[in-house]
Chains A and B, each alone.
Chain A
Amino acid sequence: MTASPLPSRFSAWFAARGWSPRPHQLELLATVRAGRSALLVAPTGAGKTLAGFLPSLVELSERTDGGRGKARGLHTLYISPLKALAVDIARNLDAPIAGMNLAVTVETRTGDTPAHKRARQIQRPPDILLTTPEQLSLLLAHREAEGFFAGLRTVVLDELHALVTSKRGDLLSLALARVRRLAPEARTIGLSATVRQPDELRKYLVSQNPSASAKSGGISAPPMADLVVVKGGAKPDLHMLDIGRTLPLSGHTARHAMPAIYDLIRGHRMVLVFVNTRLQAEYTFQELWRLNDDTLPIALHHGSLDASQRRRVEAAMAAGQLRAIVCTATLDLGIDWGDVDLVINVGAPKGASRIMQRIGRANHRMDEPSKAYLVPGNCFEMLECRAALDAVEEAAQDTPDARLGAPDVLAQHVLGMACADAFDPLGLYEEIISAAPYASLSWEDFEAVVDYVATGGYALRAYERFAKILRGADGRWRVRDARVAQQYRMNIGTIIEATHIKVRLTRMLRSKPGTAIPRGGRVLGEVEEDFAETLTVGDTFLFAGEVLRFEGLSEDECLVTRAGPGTDPAIPSYAGAKFPLSTFLAARVRAIIADPFEWDRLPRQLSDYLAQQRRHSALPGERDLLVETFARAGRHYLTAFPFEGRLAHQTLGMLLTRRLERARLRPLGFAANDYGIAIWCTKDVSERAALSPGFMEALFDEDMLGDDLEAWLDESAMMKRTFRQCAVIAGLIERRFPGQKKTGRQVTISTDLIYDVLRRHQPDHLLLRAARQDAATGLLDVTRLGMMLRRIRGRITHRALDRVSPLSVSVMLEIGRERVYGEGADEILAEAEAELLQEALG
């Protein structure tokens, strides 16, 4: 056996606690101590965090100066996606540091850190600083950044798999590029859950621009950090919850399963009940309490709840005071709270990797199996659950592909770098393309970003004399003045929350019915402004575990009262996280449907259903698209089953509707779910398909992603929202802060107006390109739609039916829950106008 790289006082500390260092902890320690960067891939419970800090703790313990009297620089920077996680890690590091009596200082730096402490941290940094990506960018834009980071030795990136999938990951990659320049000796350690393509994360951790570091001759593979993988871990003990009765054909509430879920909670110490949306969380929480005769402590945790309320739930969980928590993705990441012995996932799993990470929240000891149940909400979700069970069995992953860095994020970063110090454009370009997401950025695109930052990037050079960054005689760009730097600091970050308004509980004035007492009640949390605007007085909805009655809006608050007992919530939804079905699970679902031999493994109800579908119509082949047309109640329907997720289907629905309109079939509306779409028309679609051969092929031709898509994007509300986010990130417009009063009509300009004007006069502007890049993968999922259209070329199975097929029922049941086609503003106005006529005549 080779000598352990672990110093004796560390060995002794492990031994005293009855532990021995795990092989991956030692391997990572050796790699990093040899001056190399590394990615550690490990399931939950493998002691990932301690492994990440071990190299730093060992090095810090070996310092000879003792650190007394003399100011030492920052040694280790730890970046976490969650502020709460950084705070939690600080607490956890206390045990080894105190236990071994190490002279190591650990501090956090978040948005909550007071100004005097932040200033002191710059002058006298701790050995280990725990912070978030946004705070890192702010530090790097600081005038003192160069000195602050000069001695940095290690950067630890926690939950890297979660960070890299978003614009935050782009921002962090750019920050890392700058850190590498300020501290060339620093090594990077990425900590990640199991992912599909670990090489992408390995590239993310190191410079992708060999010319910026050591030049290597010829074409070489992209540089990658070393890989340390924790093998094994016990297979999870995972099942589909069988409630012994028939499931409904639609709906996602899983009402039928609530008694069984409640029984599971009674039989375990602590249960995490994961759901997919905030609405579902509210609903599940309420149903469980309805059954809760034992008054078990069951709590609720989701992103709309007041932060202090969430903190209370987390603390109670850590203290072991809860038996169950109903939660959304807010508890997907992170913190090792309490002793969870069962995870229940209600509703469709949507993605294999997501479900595995959720399962990992149960039982944080990796050598014991995590126990979990999947609860399908309806008959069709059983298919998805089956596909997910198979994926987990094989440990197959479906984490998203690596991102192409967003231009709006780059613009924010470039301004930040100008705030830190004057930059030489070529030097900054070399630095930026060392970041994996920006490795393919061209010099021209970089120049366009610099031009945007300086004067807005307009062909009409209207703003030269107001430029934010100025090029000096030395060729270097400098920030114009302190005000620009201040604007940068105020608008940092890539997370653009929908504007939220507070929900406040009020009492009604008895003396004046219909009038709420405007202030004084408790704040229950926040809802999205868009949701609040659709409410009319008297509407009831679920929030914070209660049925509330909307009483009105008062300036910046949504006023509510408690609805009477037994009131059903009338308003179906407020927006929350909705994940589309992953491409990977979708393919598995199609494979199961296509192969009747697989049906033995399905619940009987479902296999019967598929058999019926085969008799009535057809089953789509694994790579095929099934299209059905039929008439019903005077309307002509077209249904199609691409299994590509709701977002791609909504885009498809918009585009198909345009084409059907052009074919004069007079489409009236459409509905979509994760599996398919239904479009209804006035004219007979079956007849048209019979009369003109090739009609369906032409209808689903890939060329719909050309002009039709462009024309629709121009008007799409979704696209406008995407543009707004890009505009805020890139600093075109300033962020609105919660609690900040709406300013008068003269001061702000709606981004919709800006979008309209810009796309008419400069359609290739940087921000429009950024918005289109987002649309490709984000809310509109155009990329996925394009892949589907290519897949099904020449593989469309069309069935003209005399009545609705079993498969079509699944999507027909979505009708009425979905918004109907068309922007249709004039129809709404015409209806409101008719009311005026009524008034006049009546």
Chain B
Amino acid sequence: MALGQRLEKTVKGTDLELAGEALSLDRTGVLWLPEHRTLVVSDLHLEKGSSFAARSGQFLPPYDTRETLACLHEVMQRLDPACVVALGDSFHDARGPERMEPGDRAMIAALQEGRDWVWIAGNHDAAVSDGVGGRYCETVSLGGLTLRHEPLAGVGEGEIAGHLHPCGKVTMRGRSVRRRCFVADGHRLVMPAFGAYTGGLNVRDAAFEPLFPKGFTAYLLGDGRVFAIGRTMLGRD
């Protein structure tokens, strides 16, 4: 299976430190906190495909939830986390869990089996409360780290957030490559969206400026590993 093959490739991450905690940026877009054996995954946007059918009559392939969960399953098998934190916007909308196929629901239950699972509330799924296992929190603190969905403007020492779906674009010799990415400045980390149908916001967008007033490095998800790209090499869309 193509998906399996892709993930079988040597998965190299990039190691960082934030608020004294070790972080490993995984090339699949999840964050691994080895000292806490905790996996953080952001913006799953499950049932995004079906939300279009419900809202505007566009019948996008309804396979995004199982695709997203299958990718998550792969990376969880490799890392075997004791705890999984879904960093908000886990469902594309509040009614997402209702529309979910029974098979996908069972998949989530299997992933939760034998480990702690935390759903952090996001802006899309703030009202999700029940029926999908796990516990619900606004924020989670782990050592010096604060995990929340939407980054707070101003001081963000040790903050890990999602919400913005960062993407970086590199153009060289007439070709451009646009990839999801982590964004970090040593104080705060913004995670890429993990969901199969999630798009991206270019890191050069004004939304990132107040969060990283002194600049940042983007960690782009390549095919084989994570690449650290300086701000000057990142283009606008």
Contacts and interface: CB of A to CB of B under 8 A. Distances in A.
Interface of A: 455-456, 458, 460, 462-463, 466, 468, 480, 483-484, 487, 533-534, 536, 553, 571, 714, 732-734, 745-746, 748-750, 753-754, 756-758, 760-762, 765, 819, 824-826, 828-833, 835-836, 839
Interface in B130-181: 165, 170-177, 179
A829 B170 contact: yes
10 contacts: A456-B59, A462-B101, A466-B54, A754-B60, A757-B196, A825-B177, A826-B227, A828-B177, A829-B222, A835-B230
A819 B174 CA distance: 9
Given A456-B61, A765-B61, A832-B227, 13 more contacts: A456-B53, A456-B62, A462-B101, A466-B53, A466-B57, A468-B59, A533-B176, A534-B174, A553-B236, A745-B165, A753-B197, A762-B63, A828-B172
Given A832-B172, A836-B228, A826 B223 contact: yes
B230 A462 contact: no
A732 B57 contact: no
A253 B229 CA distance: 39
Contacts of A466: 53-54, 57, 59
A124 B75 CA distance: 66
B61 A757 contact: yes
The range of chain B's interface size is 35 or more
Interface string B201-224: 100000000000000010010111
B67 A760 contact: yes
A833 B227 contact: yes
Contacts, number: 137
A536 B60 CA distance: 35
A745 B177 contact: no
Nearest to B230: A836
B237 interface: yes
A455 B59 contact: yes
Give 9 closest A-B pairs by Cβ, nearest first.
Answer: A456-B59, A462-B62, A761-B63, A836-B230, A829-B227, A758-B61, A832-B233, A832-B170, A745-B199
A292 to B, nearest CB: 32
Contacts of A536: 171, 235
Nearest to A480: B57
A536 B236 CA distance: 10
Contacts of A487: 57
Given A732-B59, A745-B165, A754 B197 contact: yes
A468 B57 contact: yes
B223 A745 contact: no
B67 A761 contact: yes
B66 interface: yes
B199 to A, nearest CB: 4
B42 interface: no
A734 B58 CA distance: 8
Contacts of B233: 832, 835-836
Contact of A749 (B48, B177, B225, B227): B48
B50 A757 contact: no
Nearest to A750: B199
Contact of B63 (A733, A758, A830, A832): A758
A757 B197 contact: yes
A831 B223 contact: no
A464 to B, nearest CB: 10
A456 B60 CA distance: 7
Identify the interface centre among A462, A466, A484: most chain B CB within 10 Å of its CB: A462
Given A749-B197, A761-B67, A828-B177, A833 B228 contact: yes
